[in-house]
Amino acid sequence: MSRKYFGTDGIRGKVGESLLNPDFVMKLGWAAGKVLGGEGDRRILIGKDTRISGYMFESALEAGLAAAGVDIALLGPMPTPAIAYLTQTLRASGGIVISASHNPYYDNGIKFLSARGAKLPDESEEAIEQLLAGSMDCMESAKLGKASRLSDARGRYIEFCKSKFPSNKNLGTLKIVVDCANGATYQIAPAVLAELGAQVIAIGVDPDGVNINLDCGATKPRLLTEKVVEHQADLGIALDGDGDRVIMVDHTGEVVDGDEILFILANYMLARGTLSTGVVGTLMSNIGLELALRDQGIAFKRAKVGDRYVMRMLEQEGWTLGGETSGHIICLDKAGSGDGIVSALQVLTAVVSSGRSLNELKKGMLKYPQSMINIPLKNKALNLCEHPKVKQAVTEAEQVLNGQGRILLRPSGTEPLLRVMVEGRDPGQVRQLAESIADVASQLK
């Protein structure tokens, strides 16, 4: 079935336009209640990040779910992985995340989780869309859902995160700068690190509803690099607005991206005998990661872009470690979904256990230069990848690379963008080829 509303990561858009308005979101809550309410205890958890529109959509979803006869537990500002964890442990019918992740405050989104805390399978999303095509009804008064607030949600999740760090170790030797992107982790990540013994310098912990991801967080780590150097910290941790991705910074101020994090974790797990055969990356993963893992005898496979596809391939292969360059890291032996805080703790475990710095741990991987250009699209459905002129430009660029690199064109699953990525040995050549392809595509949009 061709889906009308759901993208690769739920439903997302600009607040007040298209789908992201109170009327639609209330009906969406009702439809989700009808589809998900048959599982568990007929209770659905709702959590959100810190953007101002979260209040409005929380109320709209609450009304729709109640009309469908489903009870609601309100979590308040909570990271996406926390909502996934609590949905599973509290045996709820499902979970709802109100967040647009790394996007600016004026965007928002609705993501749904199954009873086991995983992203919904396609058939559940399709069932919700089918209900949205019809009329909304309402249960009789005696069967309406009720709402309550889960007051200890934050403490439960903090203890969960701490349990994923070795009980016989602590972070007492480390000074850590943590950037919470003025998002959902602002009350949680600093507490986790401090309770494990670290000296914590917290930034991005003053949300005002509109500063989420603003010049901070995992997508813009420049502020973190400056603070790590300024405070002479051992390392820095940058999370995104909903806390499901992490980027790190070593003591020199160099960024350690998701590919390098995967390399560090794979090597650490291999040395301890806990790595399950291979690692899953995506089409965007740097070829340097693939080559470095191959040198260690570690299998590597590429999934489609999107953490749900990484998860799917991990389950198919029976592996436990995977992720994306952007910092979505999945450690299935530690958590059931991508979790920025838990993933950072696994890297910190490697640092503390080895006695080596983050800078030293990443040195075994040589990243190939990459150039990424995002081309805004007026029509998201426009398939420029198949346009003859674009295909010709790609062919010509591949001839220049002569087998010493990669070219990838990919429509974004969350934004109206065409992403043009070129990877090769020569950074100048890579940039020039990416620009030549982007110029052709831009003239056609």
- Are 40 and 92 contacting, i.e. CB atoms less than 8 angstroms apart? yes
Structure letter (DSSP) for residue 210: S
CATH topology for 11-152 is: Alpha-D-Glucose-1,6-Bisphosphate; Chain A, domain 3 (3.40.120)
- Each residue's pLDDT tens digit, 415-442: 788 899 999 989 999 999 999 999 999 8
Q: Sheet of 147-149: strands edge to edge?
A: 11-14, 107-113, 94-98, 43-48, 71-77, 147-149
Q: Return d(Cα 399, Cα 11) in angstroms, integer.
A: 39
Domain residue extents for the chain:
11-152, 173-254, 257-339, 370-444
Catalytic, out of 101, 285, 337, 343: 101
Identify the pLDDT of residue 405.
85
Identify the pLDDT of residue 414.
66
Give the chain's radius of gyration (CA, Å). 22
Phi, psi of 140 (to 5 degrees): -65, 155
Identify the pLDDT of residue 383.
76
CATH number of the domain located at residue range(s) 173-254 in this protein: 3.40.120.10
pLDDT in tens, the chain (445 residues): 567 899 877 899 999 987 899 999 999 999 999 999 865 458 999 999 999 999 999 999 999 999 999 999 999 999 999 999 999 999 999 999 999 999 999 999 999 999 999 888 889 999 999 999 999 999 999 999 999 999 999 999 999 999 999 999 999 999 999 999 999 999 999 999 999 999 999 999 999 999 999 999 999 999 999 999 999 999 999 999 999 999 999 999 999 999 999 999 999 999 999 998 899 999 989 989 998 999 999 999 999 988 889 999 999 999 999 999 999 999 999 998 899 999 999 999 999 999 999 999 999 999 999 999 999 887 655 678 888 999 999 999 999 998 888 899 988 766 788 899 999 989 999 999 999 999 999 888 6
CATH number of the domain located at residue range(s) 257-339 in this protein: 3.40.120.10
Q: Return d(Cα 181, Cα 97) in angstroms, integer.
A: 17
Identify the pLDDT of residue 40.
47
Identify the pLDDT of residue 118.
87
Identify the pLDDT of residue 380.
57
Q: Return d(Cα 203, Cα 186) in angstroms, integer.
A: 9
Identify the pLDDT of residue 378.
75
- Are 52 and 77 contacting, i.e. CB atoms less than 8 angstroms apart? no
Tell me the residue type at 63. Answer: A
The domain at 370-444 falls in which architecture?
2-Layer Sandwich (3.30)
Q: Is there a common fold for 11-152 and 370-444?
A: no
The whole-model pTM stands at 0.89
- The verdict on whether 343 is a catalytic residue reads no
Other beta carbons within 10 angstroms of residue 117's beta carbon come to 23
